[in-house]
Amino acid sequence: MTIKKEKRYALLLAADDSDYVKKVYGGYFNVFVKAFENEGDKWDLFRVIEGEFPEADELENYEGFVVSGSPHDAYGDENWILQLCFLLQTLFAMQKKVLGICFGHQVLCRALGGKVAKSSSGWDIGVRKVSLTEDFHSYGFSDEFDEIPPTLSIIECHQDKVYEVPMGAKVVAQSDKTEVEMFTFGDHILGIQGHPEYSKDILDNLIDRLLSNNSIEIGFAQEAKLQLLKAEPDRKYLENICRQFLKGGWSPSPTYL
């Protein structure tokens, strides 16, 4: 009888749980695990925003790491952000799977030598269509239900963006507002600017919180909420992309190397 080895993954949480997410989902950890886990996985939580990081001698025990979104700037110099950059550089050297989401996408880019800054076009909030490049399809992604379409709709909520990917990395998705919606580095790094893990109600509540702390204006908030009512994110495809990346079913064709 063959016993399958348990696969361990770590969520590096760079945000505090909102009251809404705690009440409805039990915290962001549950949101991510529900979106990305495969049967038999074990997930651990590290609240990096509070200075909680995995021990160096434990890194080898993990199959992959996910870096969450955050209200903080990925180009900031807070101690925990600098420590996170060092950890990401270490994981890159170890060729560990790392998936960065929103802030995670940006800080991963920064750690590996790319350029991140405030977007000149301001906030991007809502459901946006992103176009996948030929390089994306070179990774051999296969959806178990349908052929993946050339464009996908994803929930966005950011005012910073990647301007330049690290040397050796490839842009694999773009939109009319953000030039780097997704990037890869070999077969072990994937950054996604949008939120494949978010449901529409999470974004709706986040819009309310951004409005209440004067981060956005009421007209912008109303427009974002109206657009959110009309559009649907392609969560099935996006979650499958993340799962396949994390479990190892993701490798570029030699033609594209």
Strands 115-118 and 64-67: unpaired
Annotated active-site residue 188? The verdict is no
The candidate with the shortest Cα–Cα distance to 44, out of 59, 57, 25, is 59
Tokens 């780097």 belong to 180
128, 154 contact by CB (below 8 A): yes
Annotated active-site residue 102? The verdict is yes
Catalytic residue among 102, 109, 157, 242: 102
185, 169 contact by CB (below 8 A): yes
Annotated active-site residue 197? The verdict is yes
Catalytic residue among 157, 158, 197, 242: 197
The candidate with the shortest Cα–Cα distance to 69, out of 206, 244, 217, is 206
Helix (H) or strand (E) holding 172: strand 170-174
Q: In the chain, what's the furthest Cα-to-Cα distance?
A: 62
Record the tokens describing residue 55, joined without a space.
Answer: 């021990």
How far is 6 from 40, CA to CA, in rounded Å? 6
How far is 244 from 4, CA to CA, in rounded Å? 18
Catalytic residue among 58, 195, 232, 242: 195
For the annotated catalytic residues, the residue numbers are 102, 195, 197
